[in-house]
Amino acid sequence: MPELPDITAYLEALEPRVLGQPLASARFQSAFVLRSVSPPTSDVVGKKVVGFRRIGKRIVLEFEGEIFMVIHLMIAGRLRWVDAVEKSNKRPPRKILLATFEFPNGRLYLVESSTRKRASVHWVSGVRELALHDPGGLEIFDCTLKQFTDRLKQTNRTLKRALTNPRFFAGIGNAYSDEILHAARLSPVRLTQSLKDEEVTRLFKATKSTLKKWIANLRSEFKDHFPGPGEITAFREDFAVHGKLGKPCPVCGMPVQRIRYGENETNYCAKCQNEGRLLADRALSRLLKQDWPRTLEALEERRRSTT
């Protein structure tokens, strides 16, 4: 799912292309992507884009008359831009195309490369209605250490769940939470209320620095073009641990580990984040039971014995 740095990249790419431009037309190729009918699309056509904002992981375009288009990309939704001067064969394949927004200087496409169509568009009238789309998570760059601490320890849950809860913190998901926790040298399954003051401070600083770093990286990557197919991704070569199962940790060189649950997985370094102890992967540990290796040393012994 596109997270805070990715959403920022989209907003910064959209601004020079559509700010001040009127919406010429809006067509919804999927019957389920448009989730609201008030105001109707016809009321927005012809109005100019006057601003942009981010609400959590949502992209918001503001039109004249305090009308907002709220785009939630969910897991597989992405945006594509085609300049008006480019050929018409740049249109995305029909099977992934959800919506087309026409502007005088180009087209903005909403696509979703998944059989489960979850991305959505809402038309919203007025800032009061817009506020209803805000889950309430703290904005990391706007909050103080005390606010961060209070929200983190509001309930006693794992760090991974706390960081990715949109009601706790805005814009952080599966990928960047892995990177943040690795930078903070904290286990993803540590309970929030068990953290010492120094550890909370370390996590606060790591959250800010990690997100700031990736906003800067993506800003540099997309300074000359709109993010294209496959360029907004949860699996980046320069990530330290996320999506790096079995690859060496860039800090200690030990292989990156994972925990699987449902459709998601958490990647971490056992040495840097958990004193060399392996976290039980729900599927594998149930299968192996007593044979599940609990440390990096035991894992290495197991590998040697099977080769």
pLDDT, one tens digit per residue, over 269-278 is: 999 999 999 9
Q: Give the strand pairing for 58-63 and 49-55.
A: antiparallel
Residue 282 has pLDDT above 90, yes or no: no
Q: Measure the CA–CA gap between 105 and 128, rounded to whole angstroms.
A: 31
260 or 17, greater pLDDT: 17
Report which of 9, 53, 14 is spatially closest to residue 231, judged by C-alpha positions.
9
- For residues 136 and 170, give the distance between their C-alpha atoms in angstroms, rounded to a whole number: 7
Residue 74 has pLDDT above 60, yes or no: yes
Q: In the predicted model, is pLDDT for residue 293 greater than 80?
A: no
pLDDT at 89: 62
Q: Show Cβ contacts of residue 221 under 8 Å, excluding neighbours closer than 6 positions.
A: 9, 231
Question: Could you say which of 3.30.70.3420, 1.10.8.50, 2.60.40.10, 1.20.120.1770 is the CATH number of the domain covering 145-305?
Answer: 1.10.8.50
The full length of the chain comes to: 307
Give ranges for CATH 3.20.190.10 in the chain.
Answer: 4-131
**Residue 21, CA distances (Å) to 48, 126, 199, 224 in order:** 5, 20, 47, 20
User: What is the C-alpha to C-alpha distance for residues 140 and 142, in angstroms, rounded to an integer?
Assistant: 5
Cα separation, 196 vs 255, whole angstroms = 28
Mean pLDDT over 139-164 rounds to: 97
Identity of the residue numbered 166: P
The amino acid that residue 72 corresponds to is: H
In this prediction, residue 261 has a pLDDT band, given cuts at 50, 70 and 90, of confident
Distance CA 61, CA 67 (A): 8
Percent of the chain at pLDDT exceeding 90: 84
Question: Cβ neighbours of residue 44 under 8 Å, at least 6 residues apart?
Answer: 23, 26, 63, 67, 69, 123
pTM: 0.91
Q: What is the pLDDT of residue 87?
A: 58
Contacts of 119 by beta carbon, 8 Å cutoff, 6+ apart: 33, 71, 72, 73, 74, 76, 77, 98, 110, 112
User: Which residue in 213, 191, 199 sits closest to 140, CA to CA?
Assistant: 213
Range(s) within the chain of domains with CATH label 1.10.8.50? 145-305
Q: Cα-atom radius of gyration of the chain, to the nearest Å? A: 22
Q: Tally the C-alpha atoms within 13 A of residue 286's C-alpha that lie toward its C-beta.
A: 5
Alpha-carbon torsion angle 295, 296, 301, 303, nearest 10: 120
Q: How many whole angstroms separate alpha carbon 77 and alpha carbon 2?
A: 8
What is the homologous superfamily of the domain 4-131 according to CATH?
A: MutM-like, N-terminal (3.20.190.10)
pLDDT value of residue 292: 40
